[in-house]
Chain A
C-alpha cells in the first residue's frame, strides 16, 4: 500500500510537465472564442454570488448577520467540490483516446480537472474581495488559516473525484446519479440556510455529512470570523485524508483494468 502510494507520487512528479501542459490547454480551451475570455472566471462567481445574495437575503434572512457573506463562504467551498467532482466523473472516459493509445498515469486526468477548478476557486476569492468592499464586510485575522482549510477541501474533492472517475468507467450511470446525489447533498448541507434552521432531530445526521465538516471551516473563518475548534480541524482533516486515501487505493486497484473497460 505504501509502495503503491509512493509510486503514484513519483509518477505524478515524473509526468509533471504533462500535467502542466494539460492544465494550460484546459484553461485555454475553456474560454476559447468567448469575448470576455478569462474575465469570465471572475465574472461568473461575482454574478452568481450577487444574484443569490439579492434573491435569498429576502427569503431566508432568518436573523443571520451578514447573510450574503454567510452564503458566499459556504458556496465558495461547495462550488469547488461540486464542479471538480462533476468534471472528474467523466474525465477518464473523455480521455479514452489518450488512455487507449499512450501510457499516462491515470491520476493525471482527475488531478488536472481539480487544478482547473482551483484556478476558478482563486478567482472566486477575488470576487468575494470585491463584494466585501462593496458591501463593507470586515474580515477577521483568522482568514490566515484559509490555506489550511483549502488544502483540506482539495484533498477531499480529489478523493471523491478519483472514486467517481473510476466508477463511471464501470457504471456509466454514475455520472447521472451524481447530479441527483449532489443536489440532495447541497440541500442537506447548511449553505443557503443557517444550521439552526434544521430541526434538532437531524443534527445527528448533519454530523455524518462529510462535506459539511469541511464547509463549516470556511463559514467560521470567513463569516463568523472565529477560528474553528481543534475538533473541527481534526475531524475535517481525518475525513479528507481518509477519502483521499480510499480514492488513491481504489484507483490503484483498478488502474490496470480501466483500459480494458473503455
Chain B
C-alpha cells in the first residue's frame, strides 16, 4: 500500500482559557449564578483557529516543504497529520508508518537511559524490540553517543537529544518522515551526516514533510512547497518560486503571492 496523506477541509479550533475559570469551583458557581452575572464580564474563554479550511494531498514521492511565519499554523498542521490533534472540522487520512520529529524529546522519558529510550521511542514509532536490538549498535554509532548511551537522557544536551531522536526515527526508514526545525542544536558534522541520510531516504521515494525557517534546506530537499499564513494555505508551488515569493512577502509586499491556481494544486 502506498503511503498517502489526505487533508480534507481541515480546521482546528483552539480554546484559550483565561485565568483559572475552568476549575471545579467555577463549574459549581456557574450553576447558581444568573446568566446576567456573566454579561458584563470578559469572556473566560475565546476561540482561535489554528488551521482553517486546509486541503492537502500528499502522495508517495512528495517532499513537502512548509514555510510561514511564527504562529502561521505549521506545527499545528504537523500535529494534525501525526494524529496528535483531531481536526475540529474536516477529515484526515494517513496511510503508512509515520515518524514525527516535531519537538525535541517527544517520546523520551528523561529518567531513562539513552538505550532504554531507544526501545521506548522505537516501540512508539512502530519498530519492534527485536528490530531495535539488532540495530542498537548502529544507532549508537550514528548518533555518536558511545559514552552516553547508558546515561539518563535528562543529562543530555540538546544536540545529543536531537542526534538520538533523529537516528532512531530514521534507522528504519518510515513511510512518512516529518521534521520540524530539525537542525536546531546539531553540530556541523552531524548535520552533514543527517543530510546524507535524508538524501538516501528521499531517493527511496517515501513522503517527507519538512518545516524549516532555513529556506536553503527547503530548496535542497523539497519538490513542493506550501506557504501557511494565519492557518490557511496562502500559496503553493515549486520551491524556487515559493521561496522567492515568500521572501518578498516577508519584506512587506502583501501581493507577493501569485494566486493559487487549480493547476498548481
Given contacts A21-B120, A28-B112, contact A101 B129 (CB under 8 A): no
Query: Taking CB as reference atom, which chain B residue is nearest A95?
Result: B109
User: A residues within 8 A CB of B158?
Assistant: none
**B84, A103: Cβ atoms under 8 Å?**
yes
Q: Is A259 an interface residue (CB 8 A)?
A: yes
Query: Taking CB as reference atom, which chain B residue is nearest A170?
Result: B22
Query: Taking CB as reference atom, which chain A residue is nearest B130?
Result: A17
Given contacts A101-B106, A102-B106, A172-B23, contact A29 B86 (CB under 8 A): no
Q: Is B68 an interface residue (CB 8 A)?
A: no
For B23, give its contact among A98, A101, A103, A173 (CB under 8 Å).
A173
Q: Is B204 an interface residue (CB 8 A)?
A: no
**B22, A259: Cβ atoms under 8 Å?**
no
Given contacts A25-B112, A29-B112, A171-B27, contact A103 B82 (CB under 8 A): yes
For B84, give its contact among A22, A25, A101, A261 (CB under 8 Å).
A101
**A102, B129: Cβ atoms under 8 Å?**
no
Within 8 A of A (CB), among B107-154: 107, 109, 111-112, 116, 119-120, 123-124, 128-129
**B85, A25: Cβ atoms under 8 Å?**
no
For A171, give its contact among B24, B105, B116, B123 (CB under 8 Å).
B24
Query: Taking CB as reference atom, which chain B residue is nearest A14?
Result: B126
Q: List 21 A-B contacts (CB under 8 A).
A: A15-B124, A17-B123, A22-B120, A25-B112, A29-B112, A97-B106, A100-B84, A102-B82, A103-B82, A103-B84, A104-B124, A170-B22, A171-B24, A172-B23, A173-B23, A174-B24, A177-B24, A259-B84, A259-B85, A260-B85, A261-B22
For this complex, into which size category does the number of interface residues on chain A fall? 20 to 34
Within 8 A of B (CB), among A157-183: 170-174, 177
User: B residues within 8 A CB of A22?
Assistant: 120
Within 8 A of A (CB), among B70-86: 82-86
Of all A-B residue pairs in the complex, the 6 with the closest CB atoms, nearest first, are A101-B106, A256-B86, A103-B83, A17-B123, A173-B24, A171-B24
Tell me whether chain B's interface is mostly helix, strand or loop, or mixed. Answer: loop
User: B residues within 8 A CB of A174?
Assistant: 24
Q: Is B239 an interface residue (CB 8 A)?
A: no
Tell me whether chain A's interface is mostly helix, strand or loop, or mixed. Answer: helix
Given contacts A29-B111, A102-B84, contact A17 B27 (CB under 8 A): no
Q: Is B217 an interface residue (CB 8 A)?
A: no
Within 8 A of B (CB), among A209-262: 256, 259-261
- Residues of A at the B interface (CB closer than 8 Å) are 15, 17-18, 20-22, 25, 28-29, 32, 97-104, 170-174, 177, 256, 259-261
User: A residues within 8 A CB of B128?
Assistant: 17
Give, as a whole number of angstroms, the nearest-CB distance from B9 to chain A: 17
**A25, B120: Cβ atoms under 8 Å?**
yes
**A18, B112: Cβ atoms under 8 Å?**
no
Give, as a whole number of angstroms, the nearest-CB distance from A109 to chain B: 12
Query: Taking CB as reference atom, which chain B residue is nearest A177?
Result: B24
Within 8 A of A (CB), among B91-105: 100, 102-103, 105
Within 8 A of A (CB), among B149-188: none
Give, as a whole number of angstroms, the nearest-CB distance from B77 to chain A: 15
Q: Is B38 an interface residue (CB 8 A)?
A: no
**A102, B116: Cβ atoms under 8 Å?**
no
Within 8 A of A (CB), among B9-52: 14-15, 22-25, 27
User: A residues within 8 A CB of B24?
Assistant: 171, 173-174, 177
User: A residues within 8 A CB of B83?
Assistant: 103
User: A residues within 8 A CB of B23?
Assistant: 171-173
Give, as a whole number of angstroms, the nearest-CB distance from A219 to chain B: 35
**A101, B102: Cβ atoms under 8 Å?**
yes
17 additional A-B pairs beyond A15-B124, A25-B112, A102-B106, beta carbons within 8 Å, are A17-B129, A18-B120, A21-B119, A25-B111, A29-B111, A98-B106, A98-B107, A101-B84, A101-B102, A101-B106, A102-B84, A102-B107, A103-B82, A103-B83, A104-B124, A170-B22, A260-B14
